[in-house]
Structure 1
Amino acid sequence: MTEFFHHIFNTLSGGLLAYIIPFLFVLTIVVFFHELGHFLVARWAGVKVLTFSLGFGPELIGFNDRHNTRWKISAIPLGGYVKFFGDESEASTPSSEAIAKMSAEERAGSFHHKTVGQRAAIVAAGPIANFILAVIIFAGMALYYGKPNTTPRVDAVQPDSVAAAAGFKTGDVIAAIDGRAIETFGDMQRIVSVNAGTELTFLIKRDGSEITLKATPALQERKDSFGNSHRIGVLGIQYNAKPDESRSVPVGFFESIKFGVEQVWFIIGTTFKFIASLLSGTGNAGELGGTIRIAQLSGQAASLGFQVLVNWCAMISVSIGLLNLFPVPLLDGGHLLFYGVEAVRGRPLSERAQEMGFRIGLGLILMLLVFTTYNDILHIAGS
Structure 2
Amino acid sequence: MTGVWIAIGFLVTIAVVVAVHEGGHFGAARMLGIAVDRFSIGIGPVVWSRTRNGIEYVLSALPIGGYVRFIEDSPELSDDVRRTLIKNAPIWKRAVVIAAGPAMNFILAVVLFAGVGVSGVRDIVPYVAPAPGSMAEAVGIRPNDLIVSVNGEKVDGISELNAELMGLIGEPSVSLGLIRDGRPDERTIDLSKISFEDMAENQGLVLPLVGIQLSGRGVQIAEPVAGGPAASAGLLPGDFITRIDGLPVTFSETLRLIRESGGRAMTFEFERAVMTDGQKELVAMTATVRPERNDEGNWVIRTTLRPTIEFTTVRLGPVEAVRHGWERVALLTRLQWNAVSGMAQGKVSTENLSGPVGIGTMAGNAAQAGLTPMLEFIALISVAIGFMNLIPVPALDGGQLVMLVVEFVRGKPLSEAFQMRLTQLGFVLLMFLAVYVTVNDIGRL
Question: TM-score w.r.t. structure 1 length?
Answer: 0.79
The structure where helix makes up a greater share of residues is 1
Q: Which residue of 2 aligns with 1:159?
A: 132
Deviation by residue 1:288-317 (Cα, 9 ceiling, x = unmatched): 111121111111111111111111011111
Question: Cα distance, 1:16 vs. partner?
Answer: 2.4
Letter of the 2:84 partner, please give it: G
Question: Cα distance, 1:113 vs. partner?
Answer: 1.0
Question: Cα distance, 1:40 vs. partner?
Answer: 0.9
Question: Cα distance, 1:239 vs. partner?
Answer: 4.5
1:70 partnered with 2:42: no
Q: Which residue of 2 aligns with 1:128?
A: 103
C-alpha separation in 1, matches of 2:129 and 2:5: 39
Question: Cα distance, 1:276 vs. partner?
Answer: 2.7
User: Is residue 56–residue 80 contact of structure 1 (8 Å, CA) maintained in 2?
Assistant: yes
After TM superposition, what 4+ stretches of structure 1 lie above 3 angstroms from structure 2? 98-103, 146-151, 165-177, 180-185, 190-196, 198-201, 204-213, 215-222, 229-233, 238-243
1:186 partnered with 2:154: no
Question: Cα distance, 1:354 vs. partner?
Answer: 1.0
Question: Cα distance, 1:159 vs. partner?
Answer: 2.2
Q: Which residue of 2 aligns with 1:23?
A: 10
Q: Which residue of 1 aligns with 2:65?
A: 79
For these two proteins, the number of residue pairs brought into alignment is: 344
Which one of 402, 406, 414 corresponds to residue 337 of structure 1? 402
C-alpha separation in 2, matches of 1:352 and 1:182: 57
SS across alignment from 2:21: helix
C-alpha separation in 2, matches of 1:75 and 1:173: 49
Give the stretch that moved more between structures: 71-80 or 200-209: 200-209
1:265 partnered with 2:251: no
Letter of the 1:139 partner, please give it: A
Question: Cα distance, 1:77 vs. partner?
Answer: 3.2
Q: Which residue of 2 aligns with 1:298?
A: 363
Q: Which residue of 1 aligns with 2:252?
A: none
C-alpha separation in 1, matches of 2:199 and 2:340: 19
C-alpha separation in 1, matches of 2:49 and 2:364: 28
C-alpha separation in 1, matches of 2:137 and 2:423: 53
Q: Which residue of 1 aligns with 2:78?
A: 103
1:145 partnered with 2:126: no
Which one of 113, 121, 146 corresponds to residue 88 of structure 2? 113
Q: CA-atom RMSD, angstroms?
A: 3.4
C-alpha separation in 1, matches of 2:141 and 2:314: 28
* CA 249–230 in structure 1, closer or farther in 2 if over 3 Å, else same: closer
Give the stretch that moved more between structures: 287-296 or 200-209: 200-209
Q: Which residue of 2 aligns with 1:3?
A: none
Question: TM-score w.r.t. structure 2 length?
Answer: 0.68
Unpaired segments of 5 or more residues in structure 1?
1-13, 87-97, 223-228
1:323 partnered with 2:309: no
User: Is residue 51–residue 70 contact of structure 1 (8 Å, CA) maintained in 2?
Assistant: yes
Letter of the 1:143 partner, please give it: V
Q: Which residue of 1 aligns with 2:31?
A: 44
Question: Cα distance, 1:175 vs. partner?
Answer: 4.9
Question: Considering only CA atoms, is the larger Rg found in Structure 1 or Structure 2?
Answer: 2
Which one of 424, 428, 431 corresponds to residue 359 of structure 1? 424
C-alpha separation in 1, matches of 2:88 and 2:430: 28
User: Is residue 146–residue 250 contact of structure 1 (8 Å, CA) maintained in 2?
Assistant: yes
SS across alignment from 1:282: coil
Question: Cα distance, 1:186 vs. partner?
Answer: 2.5
C-alpha separation in 2, matches of 1:287 and 1:157: 27
Instruction: Give percent identity, aligned residues only.
Output: 31
C-alpha separation in 2, matches of 1:267 and 1:134: 10
Question: Cα distance, 1:31 vs. partner?
Answer: 0.8
C-alpha separation in 1, matches of 2:204 and 2:323: 29
SS across alignment from 2:58: strand
* CA 343–131 in structure 1, closer or farther in 2 if over 3 Å, else same: same
Q: Which residue of 1 aligns with 2:226?
A: none
SS across alignment from 1:159: coil
User: Is residue 146–residue 251 contact of structure 1 (8 Å, CA) maintained in 2?
Assistant: no
